[in-house]
């Protein structure tokens, strides 16, 4: 399946974060609504917020029974660490990952390097994509 990434790569600003990218992508491309990230938690949390963020992350994955997979396919989520906090991106054609740097910009990045392999927490597939 070919996807025009233009509307996602143009996402920017303080009101956009990584989960917004997931929400918009899944809704626009597949008609799948995913739970909204709790807006009471900052888009740019501090390490002091880490436990709260991790708890909310688990709730987001459990809300629609995301399926943990060993090897991602296009459009699966890649859950990883950045600056000590969980973050999420969308697998494109391997080895590309579309991610949003909270409050800044969306980009496509190669994630083959050794550093990336240490940062990745897991790969998840939406049940309707299984």
Of the candidates 33, 56, 61, the residue with the CA atom closest to the CA atom of residue 124: 61
**Least confident piece of the model among 36-40, 74-78, 115-119:** 36-40
Q: Distance between CA atoms of 130 and 118, rounded to whole angstroms?
A: 26
**61 or 72, greater pLDDT:** 72
Q: Is the pLDDT of residue 43 over 60?
A: no
Q: Is the pLDDT of residue 39 over 60?
A: no
User: What is the mean predicted confidence (pLDDT) over 11-18?
Assistant: 77
pLDDT, tens only, 68-86: 999 899 999 998 888 777 7
* Cα radius of gyration (the chain): 14
Give the side-chain half-sphere CA count within 13 A for 31. Answer: 0
Taking phi over 0 as left and psi of -120 to 50 as alpha, with beta for the rest, 74 belongs to: beta
pLDDT band, very low/low/confident/very high, at 103 (cuts 50, 70, 90): low
Domain boundaries, the chain: 6-129
Contacts of 6 (CB under 8 A, 6+ apart): none
**CATH number 2.102.10.10 is the correct assignment for the domain at 6-129:** no
**Beta sheet of 67-69, edge-to-edge order:** 67-69, 120-125, 77-82, 85-91, 96-101, 105-110
**Least confident piece of the model among 7-16, 41-50, 86-95:** 41-50
pLDDT band, very low/low/confident/very high, at 65 (cuts 50, 70, 90): confident
Q: Distance between CA atoms of 24 and 32, rounded to whole angstroms?
A: 9
Instruction: Give the mean pLDDT of the chain.
Output: 83
């Amino acid at each position: 399946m070919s996807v025009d990434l233009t509307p996602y790569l143009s996402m920017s600003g303080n009101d956009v974060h990584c989960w917004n990218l997931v929400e918009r992508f899944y809704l626009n491309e597949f008609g799948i609504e995913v739970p909204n990230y709790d807006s009471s938690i900052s888009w740019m949390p501090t390490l002091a917020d880490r436990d709260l963020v991790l708890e909310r992350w688990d709730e987001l994955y459990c809300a629609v029974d995301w399926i943990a997979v060993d090897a991602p396919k296009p459009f699966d989520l890649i859950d990883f660490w950045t600056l000590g906090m969980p973050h999420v991106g969308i697998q494109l054609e391997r080895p590309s990952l579309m991610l949003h740097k909270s409050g800044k910009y969306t980009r496509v990045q190669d994630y083959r390097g050794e550093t990336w392999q240490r940062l990745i927490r897991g790969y998840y597939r939406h049940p309707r994509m299984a």
